[in-house]
Structure 1
Amino acid sequence: MDIGHSGARTSAATRTADAPTAPTSPARRLRDLVLAYVALTKPRVIELLLVATVPVMLLADRGSVDIVLIAVTLVGGWLGAASANTLNMVVDADIDQKMKRTARRPLARHAVGRGHAFVFGVVLGAASFAVLWAFANLLAALLVMATIAFYVLVYTMVLKRRTSQNVVWGGAAGCMPTLVGWAAVTGSISWQPIVLFLIIFFWTPPHTWALAMRYKEDYAAAGVPMLPVVATEQQVAKQMVVYTWATVAATLALVAATGWIYAVIAVAAGAWFLRAVHKLYAGTRRGEPIAPLRVFLQSNEYLAVVFCGLAVDSVIHLPTVLSTL
């Protein structure tokens, strides 16, 4: 009796295993394909574009808010960033398959072909140039093109796999929204956007290295020589302290062009971020367990607070308000 029941269960299981799975509906396949193409653009990374561009434009056009120009610049900038991110995934498809953190990216799981992704990235870049040239100005459009070229050709194809200083110099691509936003408003470049460029430039290494400390095994498996892969935790944390101090110093250099609201926020947020990075460094010196991912998340919050403070300060235009009282 037991054998008969066992055989029946086995036969049933075999029939179930051999039964064809239900085909995916066309609507579901289309939705999955659309989501895969959206994922190519790295939507969450593009958040930095919003954080950096809008406050810069408000500072450049201090005292007024041109909603249409801001919207157009954001659309053009988003298309450019989406292009750079897509082309980055095309080049990095091989190493993305080796890293747990990136194994679910569209090209790594073959949800989109590399050729299709390449064409998609090029079309996004062309659309970015067209939008910015038509509705902002040529300088803004050219700066976005330079950003895409630098990110893909210099950072992704040269620096990333060859040097532990990859994010130091490659991070310059992520700073470009400050120049693009200013150029869209003024048609030129001044010292203020250069300082804002430097804020993000110095912020990028501690931000990225904190994440790389958490996933250094992934980078090692993929053969990417991020600093946490080739240096000790203490050495990495020490470098993070240096760059964080440089970041805070750069934020304070902008006080000459802002009001007291930005100054207070820059000092307070800088002290908060410095405390977190120094705490990480102290932990590595004492050999204690560290939480680099916490510093990574705090770095995002820090940059958002500083740039939002700049936006508020620029819109309120407090010096002009006080002069009328």
Structure 2
Amino acid sequence: MALSVRARLIYYAKLSKPRIIWLLDLAALSGAFLSGKLMPLNILAVLVGGTLASAGSMIVNEGIEIDRDKVMRRTSKRPTVMGYVSKKEAIYVGIALLVMGTLVGLLDNLLTSFFIFLGGAVYILIYTVWLKPRSPWNIVIGGLAGSAAAWAGFASTTSSFTISSLLLGLLIFMWTPGHFWALAMRFKEDYSKAGIPMLPVIMPENFSAKMIAISNALMIPFALALSLYTGIVYAVVASILSALQMYFSVRLIRNPTGEEAWRSFKFSSPYLAILLILVMISAFVR
């Protein structure tokens, strides 16, 4: 039975992973604000272009991963798995959205467009196609997709790439492994069934917990280094939040279970979101 346009749009919206897109858009906004140049039309262009490209990349990802998603309880109800959107259709539509987003980025400048495309290319080719089914380094290298969102935002108002934007991107890059390894530890059985070699799948729980803690510890210097460009309020809040993040990491080491990993995972999302918002507020106040 043919789907209505409304139903099809709803399915594609679900496939686009809006909970991830809003964080990527927040990264782009924080990059744009970090520059200190508030240019509404430029920011609008990078948000629209970035959202289209991110949505397209997610949709391609779920088109490619239908067979893996079928065996994972967490992903078994996705529209691609249920047959509402075919693999070929998801890939074609996703690529079209990625191209559209890249072209919208050109309304800002070539560098913005490049970073928008880079984020999608890393997520689809390096993360989804190459590393995810083969290597526990998948989510480590895949973190560059999030970094590219921040770099696109900064480039949208400056047409440049500087140390401050590099640090913002590296914060996101370093945040990614600990966040998603905690998720994989919580859903270890799912990832194991799908044959995805996430670190917690191929290594013991106590080792995975230590690696999550090390990853989070390595992230903190980048979070604090941004205070050179954002001021004392950001530095104080970032220090407090980072201490809390390490508190959850230590708890996980002491009790390396899926439930404790889930607590770490649930804290890490607002941790990054609050820091990105603080970057925006600090830049606006300046």
1:308 to 2:283 alignment:
no
Q: Give the AA of the match of 1:83.
A: G
1:36 to 2:11 alignment:
yes
Q: Show the counterpart of 1:4.
A: none
Q: Give the AA of the match of 1:123.
A: A
Q: Show the counterpart of 1:90.
A: 63
CA distance in 2, matches of 1:187, 1:281: 43
Measured after TM superposition, the shift of residue 216 of structure 1 is 0.6
SS of 1:294's equivalent?
helix
Measured after TM superposition, the shift of residue 289 of structure 1 is 7.7
SS of 2:77's equivalent?
coil
Per-residue CA deviation, residues 109-134 of structure 1 (Å, 9 max, x unaligned), is: 1111222212211210121122110x
Number of aligned residues: 286
Q: Show the counterpart of 1:174.
A: 146
CA distance in 2, matches of 1:79, 1:205: 25
Query: Structure 1's 289 and 297: CA in aligned 2 closer, same or farther, altered over 3 A?
Result: closer
1:291 to 2:266 alignment:
no
SS of 1:297's equivalent?
helix
Q: Is the 8 A contact 2:150 2:169 kept in 1?
A: yes
CA distance in 2, matches of 1:204, 1:85: 16
Q: Give the AA of the match of 2:13.
A: V
Per-residue CA deviation, residues 213-268 of structure 1 (Å, 9 max, x unaligned), is: 11110001000011111111110110111111111111111222221111111111
Can you give the 5+ residue segments of structure 1 that lack an aligned partner in the other structure? 1-23, 318-325
Q: Give the AA of the match of 1:308.
A: I
Measured after TM superposition, the shift of residue 291 of structure 1 is 2.0
Q: Give the AA of the match of 1:254.
A: L
CA distance in 2, matches of 1:291, 1:125: 36
CA distance in 1, matches of 2:168, 2:160: 15
Q: Which one of 54, 57, 65 corresponds to residue 38 of structure 2? A: 65
Q: Which one of 227, 240, 259 corresponds to residue 255 of structure 1? A: 227
Q: Show the counterpart of 1:280.
A: 252
Q: Show the counterpart of 2:51.
A: 78
Report sequence identity in percent.
34
TM-score (norm 1): 0.84
Q: Give the AA of the match of 1:128.
A: G
Query: Structure 1's 55 and 290: CA in aligned 2 closer, same or farther, altered over 3 A?
Result: same
Q: Is the 8 A contact 1:265 1:305 kept in 2?
A: no
Cα RMSD between the aligned structures? 1.6
Q: Is the 8 A contact 2:179 2:265 kept in 1?
A: yes
SS of 2:75's equivalent?
coil
Q: Show the counterpart of 1:239.
A: 211
Q: Is the 8 A contact 1:49 1:177 kept in 2?
A: yes
Measured after TM superposition, the shift of residue 290 of structure 1 is 4.3
Q: Is the 8 A contact 1:211 1:293 kept in 2?
A: yes
CA distance in 1, matches of 2:121, 2:38: 31
Q: Is the 8 A contact 2:186 2:259 kept in 1?
A: no
Shifted more, 253-262 versus 83-92: the winner is 253-262
Can you give the 5+ residue segments of structure 2 that lack an aligned partner in the other structure? none
Measured after TM superposition, the shift of residue 166 of structure 1 is 1.2
What does 1:91-130 correspond to in 2, within 5 Å?
91-130=64-103
TM-score (norm 2): 0.95
Q: Show the counterpart of 2:166.
A: 194
Q: Give the AA of the match of 1:186.
A: T
Measured after TM superposition, the shift of residue 66 of structure 1 is 2.2
Q: Is the 8 A contact 2:167 2:222 kept in 1?
A: yes
Q: Is the 8 A contact 2:105 2:112 kept in 1?
A: yes
Q: Which one of 209, 215, 230 corresponds to residue 202 of structure 2? A: 230
CA distance in 1, matches of 2:172, 2:102: 23
CA distance in 1, matches of 2:223, 2:177: 16
